[in-house]
Amino acid sequence: MEESISGFKIRGDWGDVVEHGERISRALRDAGVGSSDDSDADDGLTDAFEEWEEWRPKAHETLDADVSEKTADQASVEEGKGEQVGKEPDEDIKTAGEKLSESYEQLEDDDAEAAVDNWRESIDYVARAADSASRKALRRVEDTVYQNVMTQLAPYYFDNALISANVQQSARGNDDAERFVFEVNVNDDDLKDEVSDRLSELEDEIDRWHVEVEKDTDAAEAIEGVEPPPEPEDDEPKSTTN
């Protein structure tokens, strides 16, 4: 892993990409991010962590299909006020017409104040309908452009309040296997320092685990009767004890 001001970067195969994402998540959890049991946890960072967990590459996924789709979804235009309450543009247009009709009726009844209020509400509904319709149209264009054009020219990006990340395919290795570059940055400097320290600890733990596995393997071979190393030849000196 390479560490720089722009984040934590690895180069390797898909398994390396997945493991890097898992380690980042582990380090963030150890730093207190994403823990729903912590009463002092920042709800905004918890939500951001969940978004990261959803986006980060998984072992069963592929870059061109799964990560591409998730990146397009994450980069898409957010819902407008009408969409957030489940209203379609034609529903808001209908409501706007009703409000306008009420406004005219109130004018006829000399209720100018109520008429103005309904007129303003009518304008708001028209504006909300236009906003919802334009967002839907923009998303359709975005989805096509992003998945079919942008990802051909640039890495797959993820960005929120907690994490900025990008992953892209690089040149194939000598064994013709796919290679990738995956860089993850923690946007808060203090939290980034904590994550950096924890990643170093995890690296040391994994190195020690590999050493222990090798020792256990040697011991198991001896127990199972695997041939020991060859004895020295007769003409080689042997140690003796008196």
Residue range 97-114: mean pLDDT, rounded: 73
Instruction: Retrieve residue 190's tokens.
Output: 């203090």
- DSSP reduced 3-state for 128: helix
- Per-residue pLDDT at 235 exceeds 90: no
Check residue 229 and report its DSSP letter.
Answer: P
Residue 121 has which token pair? Answer: 């509400």
Handedness of CA 73, 35, 45, 157 (dihedral sign): negative
SS3 per residue for 94-110: HHHHHHHHHHHHHHHCC
- Residues 126-177: tens digit of each pLDDT: 676 766 666 666 556 555 555 555 445 457 888 889 999 999 888 666 666 7
What is the average pLDDT across 1-15? 91
Q: Give phi and psi for 76, each to the nearest 5.
A: -70, 155
55 or 34, which is more confident? 55
d(Cα 93, Cα 116) in Å, to the nearest integer? 18
What's the rounded mean pLDDT across residues 2-7? 89
The listed range with the strongest mean pLDDT (68-77, 91-100, 221-230) is 91-100
Q: What pLDDT shows up at residue 229?
A: 53
| Residue 170 parent element (H or E) | strand 163-170
What letter does residue 66 receive in the DSSP assignment? I
- Buried (b) or exposed (e) across 4-28, using 16+ Cβ within 10 A? eeebbbbbbebeebbbbbebbbebb
Q: How many residues does the chain have?
A: 242
**How many of the other CB atoms lie within 10 Å of CB of 136?**
15
- Residue pair 146/71 in contact (Cβ under 8 Å)? The answer is yes
Distance linking the first and last C-alpha atoms of the chain: 54
The alpha carbon of 81 is separated from its chain's Cα centroid by a whole number of angstroms, namely 25
If pLDDT is split at 50, 70 and 90, which confidence band does 242 have?
Answer: very low
Mean pLDDT across the stretch 32-51? 76
Q: Torsions phi, psi of 211, nearest 5?
A: -65, -45
Q: Confidence class of residue 210 from pLDDT cuts 50, 70 and 90?
A: very low
In this prediction, residue 241 carries a pLDDT of: 45
